[in-house]
Chains A and B, each alone.
Chain A
Amino acid sequence: MDSRKRKNSAAFYDVDGTLIRINIVHAFAFYAMRKPSLMSAVKTTAQTAASVPLFWAADKISRKWFNELFYRLYSGFSEDRLVILSEELFEEVIEPNIYPRARDLIDESRRAGCRQVLLSGALDFTMRPLARYLGVDDFIANRLEFKDGYATGKLAKPFVGGATKPTLMRDYARRHGIDLAESWAYSDSYSDLTMLAVVGRPTACNPDRRLRAVARSYDWPVLDLD
């Protein structure tokens, strides 16, 4: 049985759309609607709704631009409050939206001896309860910059998303003695093509139309976790 154990391989999972049905906008909406005062909650929610076309356009051009624009909305949020709300967010929103077969996939991968790593453009405090629930070894996520306990609306470096994911994966692999050629990556989005291309065993999970086409072209396995 030892032959099945892979000591130097890892499985990197994108999260939004890959393991869970929701995305960072849902998470922000949750935080926004739970602002301390009703007025500020309404204002932030309205602001977010009005910005949706802009976010959509930015995402089409660059995931990096989208994230920079989007995370400005967090400006002024208190760090303590976000951390506390993240637990509620997980229980009320994220956990019910985990794809039914996501847990099975992670279990299979763990049985094969792979190190389990979530790699997401979402925020670290949002990822933490999910990582704990899924029992993964590590997670790499975006971090907000805080000043005097309040978010500045900027992301701390290194930024996680799109083209930076393979760099972060390489760094992670170097630090943990992981052979990327013997590793897996799972994503649902064409914007994560580079993340998939950097490992030896890319797998498209619930892929969007463009990624599905790429996966078919390159004969990558396609999983449906729903």
Chain B
Amino acid sequence: MRAIRPRTRARDREQVVTIDTDSAPRILFSGENFLLEDLPVGTRVIYPRRPMTGVANRIAAIRYALNHPEDMPPLHALLEPGMRVTIAVDDISLPLPPMVRPDIRQTVLEIVCEMLADHGVDDVHIIVATSLHRRMTDGEIRRMVGDRVWNEFWPERLYNHDACDPDGMVVLGKTRHGELVESNKRAADSDLCIYVNINLVPMDGGHKSMGVGLCGYESLKAHHTPKAIVDSNSFMDPSNSALSSSVERIGRVVDEHLKVFHIETVLNSRMFSGPLDFLMKNEDDFTESDRLKFHAIKWTLDRTPRPLRREVFMRTPAAYELIGCYAGATEPAHAKTLAKCYEQYAVEVEGQADILITGIPYISPYNVNSKALNPLLVQVMALGYFYHMYRKRPLLRDGGVLILTHPCSDHFDPVHHPSYIEFFNRLLPETRDAYTLEKKYQDEFAYNPSYVEMYRRGNAYHGAHPFYMWYWGQRGREKVGRVIAVGTDNTTVPGLLGWETADTLAEAIAMGQSSTGRGAQITMMHHPPILITDVH
């Protein structure tokens, strides 16, 4: 195995490194394993910013936010004995991977619940705002909220949102664009809603919390469409996202009907620590210890069955730290959250890339504790999330080549993603056109009684969820010239997704250069952790 040699020369900018003849090979995620690849001289490698220092006392930071909210009275001033309060919390899709205990939601909930009890507020329900995501298991909820809250509230007053419960949803109205606004009935009937959020990327939080987290399928249909996705430039820049605009309109209607106090938390990017801390570093800066750790882990992973590799990764939580907590009214609180997010994630880059290389990791927002990152989720990570990790101007130029590294195995989790299986095997062979799929099949899947039952009482994503995953990649599909998957274990899956394959990264780059020219600007995004590019 090639060595990653330590490098001593200084660089101009910490986040953007240009490969030269002395550069170390780079590490890329490829599902539940890594690839170690030499990149061509002149390739830019873009690294995330270093994790910002977490607040020294997170309990104090949260209490301060509750007592000094944006455009609303402090939380304690909103409370009256005997009032009905609903607390909604983000689900398991955030953060990624799940954070070490105590989860930040646990800390917030313990503070808020104590405050509610002190003010004689006993009619309190905590709802996991799953929207159309899968129900969290009891164990997952307990881990998220902590034993204290669990023992006090579960199961009667701590449960998952159910978007398909005909008796549990209520229509609040319509936006001026005609978008239907539905909400959880318990939340709608409450005197006060408190939303506890985790903001990992700028598309989280704000109006999305209540407007999407507690909505129903018919409401989500308004903006989870191929058109809204194509008109979103980009998801990570709410001011340029049709999706965000629609969610904002819906959220404003929610705010007209419900009194909502938001508590938004921003985490730093300390995604890997302990034995995996080398993943947070530039390979040129590796110490001997980092090098040995990487090679030992890679050697082990190469000899470990995939399910076990997956289990190991899933059981490795992230040491995220709180870097900001903002509370109060939806928009002013979220504006501060967004500013803090960009402070952590935004990286300035000069010029677009002709060829963009990205490793696809083992995890996405939709497969935490699942048996696989299935092909549709690989697609959404590549063309949905990673392609969209920019503000204003995409890192990859229109018509450019996206190279991704992932095995693209034909593996699905039948418990979490049953409708994905039918979508992938029955619909994609017929058409990849998102508009046709939406018109012809989305409702059929959404109202399939088996899928509804598996969503409502099992742990399955909603029947329509695979459609959203496919739409999520629609802008990427329209803008990217070619997608080349490296290191796949089959050609069928990439073929169904409309991708080409290459055995090695060098081969993929050569294939890409055949359409972009030998002088193509090649860029690698070195993530995770998350980074968002500001391209000049």
Contact = CB atoms under 8 A, between A and B. Distances in A.
Contacts of A3: 443
B470 interface: no
Interface string A106-137: 00110110100000000000000000000000
A203 interface: yes
A222 B457 contact: no
Given A219-B421, A219-B425, A112 B449 contact: yes
Smallest CB-CB A-B distances: 9 pairs: A109-B449, A4-B447, A108-B449, A219-B421, A3-B443, A203-B450, A221-B418, A108-B452, A221-B450
B215 interface: no
A221 B454 contact: yes
Nearest to A224: B458
A29 interface: no
A1 B412 contact: no
Contacts, number: 52
Given A112-B447, A219-B412, A219-B421, A1 B452 contact: no
Nearest to B419: A221
Interface residues of A, number: 21
B349 to A, nearest CB: 42
A114 B449 contact: yes
A104 B453 contact: yes
Contact of B443 (A4, A108, A184, A223): A4
Interface in B402-448: 412, 414-415, 418, 421-422, 425, 443, 446-448
B451 interface: yes
A184 B450 CA distance: 9
Given A219-B414, A219-B422, A105 B218 contact: no
A7 to B, nearest CB: 13
A105 B452 CA distance: 8
B282 to A, nearest CB: 43
Given A216-B414, A219-B421, A112 B448 contact: yes
Interface of A: 1, 3-4, 11, 101, 104-105, 108-109, 111-112, 114, 184, 201, 203, 216, 219, 221-224
Contacts of A4: 443, 446-447
A71 B452 CA distance: 38
B249 interface: no
A223 B454 contact: yes
Contacts of A114: 449
Contacts of B450: 105, 184, 201, 203, 221, 223
Contacts of B451: 221
Interface string B449-492: 11111101110000000000000000000000000000000000
B319 to A, nearest CB: 36
B139 interface: no
B425 A105 contact: no
Contact of B218 (A1, A203, A223): A1
Interface of A is mostly: mixed
Contacts of B164: 108
B166 interface: yes
Contacts of A203: 450
A219 B426 CA distance: 11
Contacts of A184: 449-450
B414 A104 contact: no
Nearest to A204: B450
Contacts of A105: 449-450, 453
Contacts of A221: 414, 418, 450-451, 454
Contacts of B448: 112, 201
Contact of A104 (B422, B446, B456): B456
**Residue picked from A1, A109, A223, most chain B C-beta under 10 Å:** A223
Contacts of B443: 3-4
Nearest to B218: A1
14 contacts: A4-B447, A11-B449, A104-B453, A104-B456, A105-B453, A108-B449, A108-B452, A112-B449, A184-B449, A219-B422, A222-B415, A223-B453, A223-B454, A224-B458
A104 B457 contact: yes
B453 A101 contact: yes
A222 B414 contact: yes
Contacts of B458: 223-224
A222 B457 CA distance: 12
Nearest to B455: A108
Nearest to B425: A219
A105 B421 CA distance: 21
Contacts of B425: 219
Given A3-B443, A111-B449, 13 more contacts: A1-B218, A4-B443, A104-B453, A105-B449, A108-B453, A111-B166, A111-B447, A112-B452, A114-B449, A219-B414, A222-B418, A223-B453, A224-B458
A11 to B, nearest CB: 7
A223 B446 CA distance: 17
A111 B452 CA distance: 11
Interface string B510-529: 00000000000000000000
Contacts of B412: 219
Contacts of B218: 1
Nearest to A106: B449
Contacts of B421: 219
A4 B454 CA distance: 17
A111 B450 CA distance: 12
A101 B454 CA distance: 11
A101 B422 contact: no
A114 B418 CA distance: 20
Contacts of A201: 448, 450
Contacts of A112: 447-449, 452
A222 B412 CA distance: 14
Interface string B188-222: 00000000000000000000000000000010000
A203 to B, nearest CB: 4
Contacts of B457: 101, 104
Nearest to B457: A101
Interface string B314-349: 000000000000000000000000000000000000
